[in-house]
Chains A and B, each alone.
Chain A
């Protein structure tokens, strides 16, 4: 049951070299730089997003993901969700307003897979980039590279998926849209949604805690995915796999890496989800087809190359 969590709001990604990273996320992905702070972090957004930022880059000596944040509908929902987390036994940390510029207070917690998440209700509303909110044109001119439409979801690797499921589904009001079950019936992958999208966050079982598989950005069309593949070659960017289609979610996709080795995805299409939809199940023994629908074989990197 929905409890006021609305959508993915931001992700903070650690990068080894800020200059290279900003060039990648702006020139290639087509995000727009919106601010920097006195910690040296760089704030970015995709053009169709209405809030000030969705991607925060932080220079560090180890790449990966610091946290992913979800926006909730209002302060009352934030207070209730915070109480529900505490009642459930989840330790929460208060991050004061303005720790991220122009973002309200955040409630941060770490789930048993080792990943940190945040809930927040307020962020500066700047509107879609380059288009008016009155009689808007179809798209803004002046976008770079892949012209990413929005930050869409993250996939994380870690243990204790059942405990993570309990927090996301029973406390935060997410729905299980798709899953991978092993022959014993243990869930080894879970795709969770709080919207009509087939996933807003996903987890795959992995022994090591807290690993980051990818941050994903939405594109409108398969043509845009193919054009992204062209840009990946033109810029000699490290490619992982694609363009291809996923079995899970049926999205059309390409995976590549940022200059610090964090995996990115751009994708289009994919199934939709309503709360009355029952979970889709993929069998672990057919995992190749579940992940890469055309090749039907996993590339070794998908399961092992993480930050």
Chain B
């Protein structure tokens, strides 16, 4: 089975993604946290990334978080893309920014 290298330019992290595996799943299996993890089902938009280089296949994603015009520009959800080549990605939502929300109740107001 083919393996592909994913490089996250936002955080400088590299990880291996197996053929047929989603980028987010590969990252989570390695215990890495360089892309925010949400529903893992293409629904919430939390793991949105921009693919800068490389080819991939897409599963079904919420049109709200991944409208066709954004997908054309490589803005996709990491839980729903399956690499066909090595990929260079960057985060749309910063993982640090996502973590900061955890420590405050401001999001409630």
Contacts and interface: CB of A to CB of B under 8 A. Distances in A.
B76 to A, nearest CB: 14
A284 B108 CA distance: 9
Which secondary structure characterizes the binding site on chain B? loop
B43 A260 contact: yes
Contacts, number: 95
Interface string B85-109: 0000000000000110110010111
A42 to B, nearest CB: 17
16 contacts: A61-B60, A63-B62, A182-B109, A186-B109, A206-B108, A260-B60, A261-B41, A261-B62, A262-B39, A263-B39, A287-B105, A303-B108, A304-B98, A306-B44, A307-B39, A307-B62
Which secondary structure characterizes the binding site on chain A? loop
B64 interface: yes
Q: Give the interface size class of chain A.
A: 35 or more
Interface of A: 16-17, 61-64, 180, 182, 186, 188-189, 204-206, 238, 240, 257-263, 284-285, 287, 297-301, 303-307
B20 interface: no
Interface of B: 36-44, 46, 60-64, 98-99, 101-102, 105, 107-109
B98 A16 contact: no
B99 to A, nearest CB: 6
Contact of A285 (B41, B98, B105): B105
Contacts of B43: 16, 63-64, 257, 260-262, 307
